[in-house]
C-alpha cells in the first residue's frame, strides 16, 4: 500500500492555504443511445442544480486541481469531453487559462437580455474551441444568437412538462443541436426521454435495479460465489483457488487479460492462473479476480456501471487503510454495492448468497455501521450532495480533503485498470 499512498499524496492538494474551504469535483456520466459514455458533467464543490455555483469557486477549484493541463483534466474524464456549468459573467478569456477549450462544454443559462458584448465574448470562446450547452429555460428571440453557437440543449426531465418539451423540440427543429436530458435518475424517465427524441442522458438511471422476468442469472454464478469465498482465505490457497478459476472459462480469460494489461507491467506474458497469483501476490490477485467477476456479472449492462463499481471498490480500499478497516472487505463492499443493477435483483435478494462478513452484509443493506462510512460518504459525493458529505464526515470523523484526493486517484486507477485491458 506504500505505492498507493505515494500516488494519492502526489495528487494536487484539494485545499490550499488561504482559499477558504474545500475544493473538490465529482464527475457524472452522460450516456448516449447505445449506453456508451459520451462525456462527463463535472460538478464542483459548492455547485447545485438549483442555485448554480459561485464563479470564483469553480475557477479556483479548477486552478488548484490543475485542470488547465489536459493530462490532469483527462484523469477525471478519461479523455472525453466535460460539461461545466459556467455563470454568465464568467464567460471571458480567463476560462481558456483554467479549462482546456477543446475538451470543455460550457453550460450557460442566458440572461434576460443579451448585449452585443456578451455575444461577442461567446463567439471568442467558440473560436478558441469551447462548445456550448444551453439551459432549457432560454426564451426566444432573446437567445436566438446563442442558438446559432450552441452544440447542445440540456433539459431537466424532472422539472419540465411533456408539452413544454415538445414545444422546445419544435422550436429547435432544423438546428444542428444535440438534445440532452439531465437529472435522469430512473429507468422510467430514461425510456420517456428516449421516446421523446433525446439522444444523450445525464444521471444515474443505469444504477437502478430493474427486475426482468426473463433475465437468467449469469452463467457459473454459484461457482463465482465460491471463488469469492476462496479469495477471503489469508493466505490464499493456491491449488484450491486455481482449480475453481479454471472451471470458469470466461472468468479465467478476463483474469489473465487483466493481469497482462499495462497496469501490472508484467515482464513476460502470464499464461496460467497459478502464474498470475504468484506474479502479482495475494492482495493484487484478490483485486483482479473480483474485478473480473464483476465484469462477468455486469454482462450487457452499460460499461459505466462496472466502471463505477470498480472505482467505488478502489476508493473504499485505499481510504479504508486510513481508517484501519479491513481493506479487502472495503474493496468488496464498493464493488458489490452496484450488484443489484448488474443482476436485476434487489440487494436483499442478492446479499444472502454472498460469502461476506456480517458487517459488510449489513453495510450493503444500508445499515449505518463503521464499515459503511466511506461508501456512504461517496454516495453523497457522487450526487454532489455537499450537505450530505459534510454530515457523513462529521458523524464518522472523515477528512474530506483526503477523500477528495482518493476519489480522483480511484478514477485514474479505474480508467487504467479497465480500459487498458480492452
Q: For residues 99 and 320, what is the distance between their CA atoms, to the nearest angstrom? A: 32
Whole-prediction pTM = 0.88
- Is the pLDDT score of 352 beyond 70? yes
Burial of 141 (0-12, 13-18, 19+ CB in 10 A): exposed
Query: According to the model, what pLDDT value does residue 6 have?
Result: 55
- Is the pLDDT score of 416 beyond 70? yes
Q: In what helix (H) or strand (E) does residue 306 lie, and over which residues does it extend?
A: helix 303-323
Domain that holds residue 361: 221-419
Domain assignment present for residue 70? The answer is yes
Query: According to the model, what pLDDT value does residue 139 have?
Result: 56
Do 362 and 371 form a contact (C-beta atoms < 8 A)? Answer: yes
Band of residue 232 on the pLDDT scale cut at 50, 70, 90: confident
Longest dimension (CA), the chain: 74
Cell of 255: 483474469
The answer on 202 and 225 residing in a single domain is no
Domain assignment present for residue 214? The answer is no
Query: According to the model, what pLDDT value does residue 358 have?
Result: 94
Do 408 and 11 form a contact (C-beta atoms < 8 A)? Answer: yes
Tens-digit pLDDT profile for residues 167-202: 889 888 888 999 999 999 999 999 999 999 999 999
Residue 189 belongs to domain with CATH number: 3.20.20.450
Query: According to the model, what pLDDT value does residue 137 have?
Result: 65
Secondary structure of residue 150 in the 3-state scheme: coil
The answer on 383 and 313 residing in a single domain is yes
- Is the pLDDT score of 48 beyond 90? no
Domain assignment present for residue 257? The answer is yes
Read out DSSP for 186-240? SHHHHHHHHHHT--EEESSGGGS----TTPPPPTTHHHHHHHHHHTTSSS--HHH
Instruction: Name the domain count of the chain.
Output: 2
- Is the pLDDT score of 297 beyond 90? no
Read out DSSP for 166-178? HHHHHHTTTS--E
The answer on 146 and 55 residing in a single domain is yes
Q: Report cis status (omega within 30 of 0) of the bond before 204.
A: no
Q: For residues 346 and 340, what is the distance between their CA atoms, to the nearest angstrom? A: 5
Do 384 and 396 form a contact (C-beta atoms < 8 A)? Answer: no
Among 298, 301, 306, 322, which residue's Cα sits nearest to residue 377?
Answer: 322
Q: For residues 166 and 155, what is the distance between their CA atoms, to the nearest angstrom? A: 11
Q: For residues 133 and 127, what is the distance between their CA atoms, to the nearest angstrom? A: 15
The answer on 203 and 230 residing in a single domain is no
Q: What's the helix, strand, coil split of the chain in %, to 5?
A: 55, 10, 35
CA angle, 1 then 295 then 186, to 5°: 105
The answer on 291 and 167 residing in a single domain is no
Query: According to the model, what pLDDT value does residue 316 have?
Result: 97
CA atoms within 13 A on the CB side of 261: 20
Q: How many CB atoms lie within 10 A of CB 158?
A: 14
Query: According to the model, what pLDDT value does residue 93 have?
Result: 74
Tens-digit pLDDT profile for residues 256-289: 888 888 877 778 888 888 888 888 888 888 888 8
Query: According to the model, what pLDDT value does residue 49 have?
Result: 44
- Is the pLDDT score of 5 beyond 60? no
By mean pLDDT, which of 3-17, 157-171, 207-221 is the weakest?
3-17
Angle between helices 400-419 and 373-382 (to 10 degrees): 80
**Distance from chain centroid for Cα 318:** 17
Domain boundary among 207, 229, 249: 207
Band of residue 78 on the pLDDT scale cut at 50, 70, 90: confident
Q: How many CB atoms lie within 10 A of CB 36?
A: 12
Query: According to the model, what pLDDT value does residue 202 have?
Result: 97
Sequence-separated (6 or more) residues with CB below 8 Å from residue 407: 24, 26, 315, 378, 381
Band of residue 8 on the pLDDT scale cut at 50, 70, 90: low
Residues in the chain: 422
Query: According to the model, what pLDDT value does residue 68 have?
Result: 86
Band of residue 33 on the pLDDT scale cut at 50, 70, 90: very high
The answer on 240 and 111 residing in a single domain is no
Query: According to the model, what pLDDT value does residue 420 have?
Result: 57
Q: For residues 64 and 54, what is the distance between their CA atoms, to the nearest angstrom? A: 16
Question: What is the average pLDDT score of the chain?
Answer: 85
Query: According to the model, what pLDDT value does residue 27 have?
Result: 95
- Is the pLDDT score of 95 beyond 90? no
Q: For residues 89 and 135, what is the distance between their CA atoms, to the nearest angstrom? A: 16
Residue 245 belongs to domain with CATH number: 1.10.3210.10
The answer on 414 and 284 residing in a single domain is yes
Q: Report cis status (omega within 30 of 0) of the bond before 225.
A: no
Domain assignment present for residue 1? The answer is no
Band of residue 215 on the pLDDT scale cut at 50, 70, 90: low
Angle between helices 303-323 and 327-336 (to 10 degrees): 150
Tens-digit pLDDT profile for residues 365-404: 999 899 999 999 999 999 999 999 999 999 999 999 999 9
The answer on 162 and 240 residing in a single domain is no
Amino acid at each position: 500500500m506504500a505505492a498507493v499512498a505515494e500516488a494519492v499524496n502526489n495528487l494536487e492538494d484539494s485545499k490550499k492555504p488561504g482559499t477558504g474551504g474545500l475544493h473538490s469535483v465529482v464527475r457524472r456520466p452522460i450516456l448516449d443511445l447505445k449506453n456508451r459514455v459520451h462525456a462527463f458533467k463535472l460538478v464542483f464543490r459548492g455547485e447545485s442544480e438549483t442555485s448554480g455555483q459561485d464563479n470564483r469557486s469553480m475557477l479556483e477549484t479548477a486552478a488548484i486541481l490543475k485542470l488547465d493541463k489536459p493530462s490532469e483534466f483527462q484523469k477525471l474524464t478519461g479523455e472525453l469531453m466535460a460539461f461545466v456549468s459556467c455563470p454568465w459573467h464568467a464567460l471571458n478569456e480567463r476560462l481558456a487559462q483554467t479549462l482546456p477549450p477543446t475538451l470543455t462544454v460550457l453550460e450557460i443559462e442566458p440572461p434576460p437580455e443579451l448585449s452585443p458584448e456578451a455575444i461577442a465574448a461567446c463567439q471568442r470562446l467558440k473560436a478558441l474551441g469551447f462548445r456550448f450547452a444551453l439551459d432549457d429555460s432560454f426564451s426566444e428571440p432573446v437567445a436566438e444568437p446563442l442558438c446559432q453557437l450552441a452544440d447542445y440543449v440540456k433539459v431537466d426531465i424532472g422539472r419540465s412538462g411533456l408539452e413544454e418539451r415538445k414545444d422546445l423540440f419544435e422550436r429547435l427543429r432544423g438546428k444542428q443541436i444535440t438534445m440532452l436530458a439531465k437529472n435522469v435518475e430512473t429507468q422510467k424517465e430514461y425510456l420517456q426521454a428516449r421516446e421523446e427524441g433525446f439522444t444523450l442522458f445525464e444521471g444515474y438511471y443505469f444504477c437502478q435495479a430493474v427486475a426482468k422476468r426473463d433475465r437468467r442469472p449469469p452463467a457459473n454464478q454459484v461457482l463465482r460465489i465460491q471463488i469469492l469465498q476462496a479469495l477471503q482465505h489469508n493466505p490464499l490457497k493456491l491449488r484450491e483457488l486455481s482449480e475453481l478459476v479454471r472451471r470458469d472459462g470466461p472468468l479465467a480469460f478476463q483474469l489473465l487479460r487483466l493481469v497482462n494489461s499495462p497496469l501490472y507491467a508484467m515482464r513476460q506474458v502470464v499464461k496460467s492462473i497459478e502464474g498470475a497469483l504468484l506474479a502479482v501476490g495475494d492482495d493484487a490477485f484478490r483485486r483482479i479476480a473480483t474485478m473480473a467477476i464483476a465484469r462477468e456479472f455486469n454482462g450487457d449492462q452499460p460499461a459505466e456501471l462496472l466502471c463505477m463499481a470498480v472505482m467505488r471498490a478502489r476508493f473504499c480500499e485505499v481510504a479504508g487503510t486510513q481508517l484501519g478497516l479491513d481493506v479487502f472487505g472495503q474493496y468488496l463492499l464498493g464493488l458489490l454495492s452496484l450488484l443489484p443493477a448488474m443482476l436485476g435483483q434487489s440487494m436483499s435478494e442478492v446479499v444472502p448468497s454472498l460469502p461476506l462478513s456480517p458487517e459488510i452484509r449489513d453495510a450493503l443493506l444500508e445499515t449505518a455501521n463503521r464499515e459503511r462510512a466511506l461508501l456512504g460518504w461517496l454516495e453523497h459525493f457522487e450526487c454532489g450532495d455537499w450537505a450530505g458529505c459534510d454530515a457523513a464526515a462529521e458523524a464518522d470523523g472523515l477528512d474530506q480533503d483526503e477523500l477528495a484526493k482518493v476519489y480522483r486517484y480511484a478514477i485514474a486507477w479505474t480508467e487504467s485498470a479497465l480500459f487498458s485491458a480492452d
